[in-house]
Amino acid sequence: GPASVAFTDGKIIGATLDRNGLRPSRYMVTDEDILVMASEQGALIYPSDTIVLKGRLQPGKMFVADLEKGRLISDEEIKKEIATSYPYQEWIAKQKINLDDLPLNREPKQPNSETVLQRQKCFGYTIEDLKTILTPMANEAYEATGSMGNDASLAVLSNKSVNLANYFHQLFAQVTNPPIDPIREESVMSLTSYIGSQGNLFQQVDEERNFIKLSSPVLTNVQLEKLRGVNKFNFRAKTLEILFDTTTQGDMETSLQRVMQEASEAVRAGYQVIILSTRGVSRTRAAIPSLLATSAVHHHLVREGIRTACGLVVETGEAREVHHFATLVGYGANAVNPYLAFETIEDMRQRSLIREDLTEEQAVANYIKAIGKGIFKIMSKMGISTIRSYTGAQIFEAVGLGEELVDTYFTGTPSRLGGVDLATLEQESLLCHLVGFPEQIIESNGLRPGGAYAYRQRGEAHLVTPENIFLLQQATRHDDYAIFKQYSQTIDNPEGSYRTLRGLLAFRNQHPIPLEEVEPIETIMTRFATGAMSYGSISQEAHETLAIAMNRIGAKSNTGEGGEDAKRFGTERNSKIKQVASGRFGVTANYLVNAEELQIKLAQGAKPGEGGQLPGHKVDAIIGATRHSTPGVGLISPPPHHDIYSIEDLKQLIHDLKNANVHARINTKLVSEVGVGTIAAGVAKAHSDVILISGYDGGTGASPQTSIKHAGLPWELGLSETHQTLVKNGLRGRVVVQTDGQLRTGRDLAIATLLGAEEWGIATSALIVEGCLMMRKCHLNTCPVGIATQDKSLRKKYTGKPEHVINFVKFLAMELREIMAELGFRTVDEMVGRVDKLKAQEGVEHWKAKHLDLNRLLHRMHVCEHDTAYKSMEQDHGIDGALDNQLIAQMQETIERGIPKRIEIGVRNVNRTVGTMLSAEMTRKYGEAGLPNDTMQIKATGTAGQSFAAFVNSGITFEIEGDANDYFGKGLCGGKLILYPPLDATYDANRTTIVGNVAFYGATSGEAYIYGMAGERFCVRNSGARVVVSSVGDHGCEYMTGGRVVILGSIGKNFAAGMSGGIAYLYDPEESLANRINPEMVDLDRIESEADSDEVRGMIENYVKHTGSSEAHAILEHWEAHKAHFIKVMPRDYKRVLAEQQQAELEEV
């Protein structure tokens, strides 16, 4: 994760930065040999003519001052000294063994097509697994994409026998550290691991110690046999069967103890590879769940102090989807061989169920690649870069596993509700085993259908069924509350099954009051918001219907992360909630000032730790224009907000957005997970006005199936923890707490309120009211009812009306009001957090659910004297003390009448978000167009604080003589920024870091001229700004979708990763930059056309005019010679779009 670590032993003092460059670390040296290092420039002020050096720590680099010798030591010198102190290269050459170089002593066991079906049944395979999960991985080497969220039962509530991995939910980073972008920043990630004794970290390297290198945690059958047969270099492998006797009750525990003992004995006997195998399954021998056996052996070896002496490999018939592999690795496996998945893929190939042009080797290779990508994505959710860091990290929460079971076999894993014991897991395993080996021989038609990913008759229980879809649509279209009550019954009181934690709760301590004493429906309705569904993921018609409906009843609709057409602003089609997500699509000053609430999307319930996803076939010309992106190119937002790597950064963004719209509430969207209460407390202290806790089961327009099913926790857990933590810390009265995720009835709202929420979000159910049939085709652009599609012919089939949505919200409020009357509450406010009105349902006989303990959900924290259980006080956003108040006062006449004016100011790093409030005031009057260029000219001298000129609109020009910190020009939307060193500075501007990290993040238009070096992720997500700069750090122009960037000096690594629009021009006289460019999406050309030449020359002329750069002036003096040294970095997708536009113009002619 992010780290800038300073260290000293009294003789040297230094600092080192994390490999991803996620922390700012700036330094300077004066002519008196004073070294100043801090997270910001400007922490200490020295006259500029006394400074001889200004710089920054770069990703993975180290910086040391030797106090005894009185000199600075570079990263290169430090590491060269260490690297040459011992013959490391020689040792590695002798000790490293590549797995593929090992001999194959015996052939792998051949697939048995006659028994594959039986074994598939035995290990829980379904038709859905084959079609939904394995097919896209084998065909195209990518993980299956799905949509509409997860409304199936939790594993502990399922009537079916489920894979043990389904009890574990992936955790993810939000706020306290960032997830990593596994797509654009894959270069910092690795699946490489090593098997062998790790020895003692503090001892000198032992020349006799060997290790085997694995390029992937997924082993083919051949690779496993090579590993199994190894008997050289001091390596030996031991295979242990993880099976138990089906005829002896309780034998799973006995067998587990046996395996654990055998493993420790093997390690002590010198075996360095332990293979846990389910190969020997038969009628009387069932498989211990691989995850249980792996974690049990791992923790046993840890307790014995010998875990690092061996590698742990799992040969399993269970593992088939990404989550299975992630849990196995997370609980200690160094490698996994999914032999039955390979056999199934080959069987599907033979039966023409996957692409016939693939060979067996190609299909298996595709599958392994897809699993690798999926593991990358899961690791990256927590900000983890390498598989070695993830192995044994067990970054999961269990839902439904008992305390003794977890303490013994999954030590250290959170499992807040208790749950099933080992005997129940044995029963569950036997149920699955009996499908493959039934007690009575019966004729079988094949695998069970499944139903985990979509509703199937006789499949897994779902909240949404064809019956209740019909009832809800009938009720809302005919304004019939009686039908709505029938619908509610199917959700709240399902026969013989439980699907949610709230389904296990009941009301108590009822003291009814007359219904007429309860607050009116109209005021309750204002507490609703629709979920963040973007224009793009759903059609214009569906999006606007929600906005119109919510505006008419005083509630709020949400734009989602795709921006909004400015034509809707000021009308009843305007969404009151404008979302600011990591992609910053369409986020401009005009967008922000036309909101009543600004929502920072830190995570999404259906895919926390990942960015939003819009497939390319849904990005038409209009969507592309709204999002400032390239039509036809799929959009996957970065997992992190690149301006939020810590809670302090979130506080900064909240401050930025409040400056951009002082009248708006600031809402921070989190997803339920263990520890979210602590995060929420930090968010409240960061001055968020609203905290939204989303459940893991929320909807989505497109997401990896693994994320839909396995990431995040139910909102009941996160909401309860959040409310309790805020109350405990006296913070509850500062914030509104919202929740969302499969809220469908008044009973759901009542339980959410009693657990701590005073506002509620609805999304999937609102789409069903509009006509959605839950076909789960949103990501395919084939929605048959015109909701989740941009296809014009399908959009004509849309029949939804605002009145239908209004009826739904009204019915929810009516039903909630009835429950309030039964419980004795007159207002929603007095109901918030009253968990004493809830109890666990009595008489639960479900074979798994009966083991749950819901007491942690129902603990009531007593509110402090100065606090309340609901929002009752306003946050202090520090707006009154902002420098912009002075700017607005000085520019008042310009704002009102458009009269040009120039002023001069001094700035320090404590002046944050300068210019944003000024821009907002101007934008409210003049709209998106702003004012003519240079109408407001502001000359600033000093060090600019974070987010200088964020969201600055056309007509405002900032000229800074000095330097700047992180997030400079973020969201620039028409303004002009000029930055150059102090005129009396003696240091070389081209070798000096003048601006921090993540400059021009999400900029949509405007221009900037930066004379000096920029930090990491320069112009990340730029979608329209035109910028000239001396040089940039790592990940420059990452995920850029528009604009122009001219760089006259060096670039860092991974330049142009994910770049799908705009053009970058790099000055490369030494021809050394090409190997630093990520070539996946861009072509490297020379400047050939006159138009390109004129464009670059014009931008450099402006640069010289504004900054006085002598180096740029020299380029212009000999332009014809120097232009040959420019590389034109051009996205291939952008080339295609330009070619299509030219062709269309020719055809029109």
Q: What token pair was written down for 845? A: 């006989």
* 1074 has pLDDT over 60: yes
Beta-carbon count within 10 A of 140 CB? 14
Q: Is the pLDDT of residue 204 over 80?
A: no
Q: Which CATH class is domain 123-436?
A: alpha beta
Q: How far apart are CA 404 and CA 794, in angstroms?
A: 54
pLDDT in tens, 496-512: 678 999 999 999 988 99
**Paired tokens of 472:** 């809800």
Q: What is the pLDDT of residues 802-834, one digit of tens each?
A: 999 999 999 999 999 999 999 999 999 999 999
Q: Phi and psi at residue 870, in whole multiples of 5°?
A: -145, 165
pLDDT at 440: 76
Dist CA 376 CA 386 (whole Å): 8
Q: How far apart are CA 27 and CA 20, in angstroms?
A: 19
- Copy the structure tokens of residue 549: 């409906």
> Backbone phi, then psi, for 65, in 5-degree steps?
-110, 120
Residue 112 is predicted with a pLDDT of 86
Strand, coil or helix: 979 = strand
Find the helix or strand (DSSP H, E) in which 258 lies: helix 251-268
State how far Cα 2 lies from the chain centre. 16
Q: Which range is least confidently modeled, 93-97, 270-274, 567-571, 622-626?
A: 93-97
Query: What token pair was written down for 1144?
Result: 């269309």
Q: What is the pLDDT of residue 114?
A: 86
- The crossing angle, in degrees rounded to 10, of helices 1110-1117 and 1090-1107 is 150
Same fold, 123-436 and 466-496+522-838: yes
Query: Cα–Cα–Cα angle for 886, 889, 893, nearest 5°?
Result: 145
CB atoms under 10 Å from CB of 66, counted, come to 13
Token pair for residue 416? 């807040």
Cα gap 1136→1125, rounded to integer Å: 25
DSSP 642: T
Q: Residues 867-920: pLDDT tens digits?
A: 999 999 999 999 999 999 999 999 999 999 999 999 999 999 999 999 999 999
Adjacent-strand bridge partners of 963: 943
Give the pLDDT of residue 1138: 87
**Domain range annotation of the chain:** 4-85, 123-436, 466-496+522-838, 937-1148
Domain spanning 466-496+522-838: which CATH class is it, in words?
A: alpha beta
For residue 40, name the pLDDT band (cuts at 50, 70, 90).
Answer: very high
> Is beta strand 400-401 parallel, antiparallel or unpaired with respect to 419-420?
parallel
Interval 400-421 mean pLDDT: 98
- Provide the percentage of residues in the chain whose pLDDT is more than 70: 99
What is the pLDDT confidence band of residue 1093, given thresholds at 50, 70 and 90?
A: very high
Cα(329)–Cα(151) distance, integer angstroms: 27
- Indicate the fold that domain 937-1148 takes in CATH: Pectate Lyase C-like (2.160.20)
Rounded Cα gap, residues 410 and 328, in angstroms: 12
Distance of CA 606 to the CA centre of its chain: 10
Tokens of 1028: 């000239």
91 confidence band (pLDDT: 50, 70, 90): confident
101: DSSP letter: G
pLDDT digits 0-9 by tens, 792-807: 999 999 999 999 999 9
**Res 245 pLDDT > 60:** yes
**DSSP letters of 731-791?**
-GGG-EEEEESS--SHHHHHHHHHHT-SEEEE-HHHHHHHT------GGGT--TTSSS---
909, 965 contact by CB (below 8 A): yes
How would residue 442 be classed by pLDDT, with cut points 50, 70 and 90? low
What's the token pair of residue 933?
A: 């260029």
Mean pLDDT rounded to a whole number for the chain? 95
User: What is the full DSSP assignment across 387-423?
Assistant: HHHHTT---EEESEE-HHHHHHHSTT---TTBEE-HH
Name the residue type at position 333: A
Confidence of residue 153 (pLDDT cuts 50, 70, 90): very high
pLDDT band at 346 (very low <50, low <70, confident <90, very high): very high
In the structure encoding, which two tokens stand for residue 280, read together? 């020997």
Provide the CB-side half-sphere exposure for 1090 (13 A, CA): 0
pLDDT band for position 1146 (50/70/90)? confident
Residue tagged 């009595």 (tokens):
842
**Residue 913 DSSP one-character state:** S
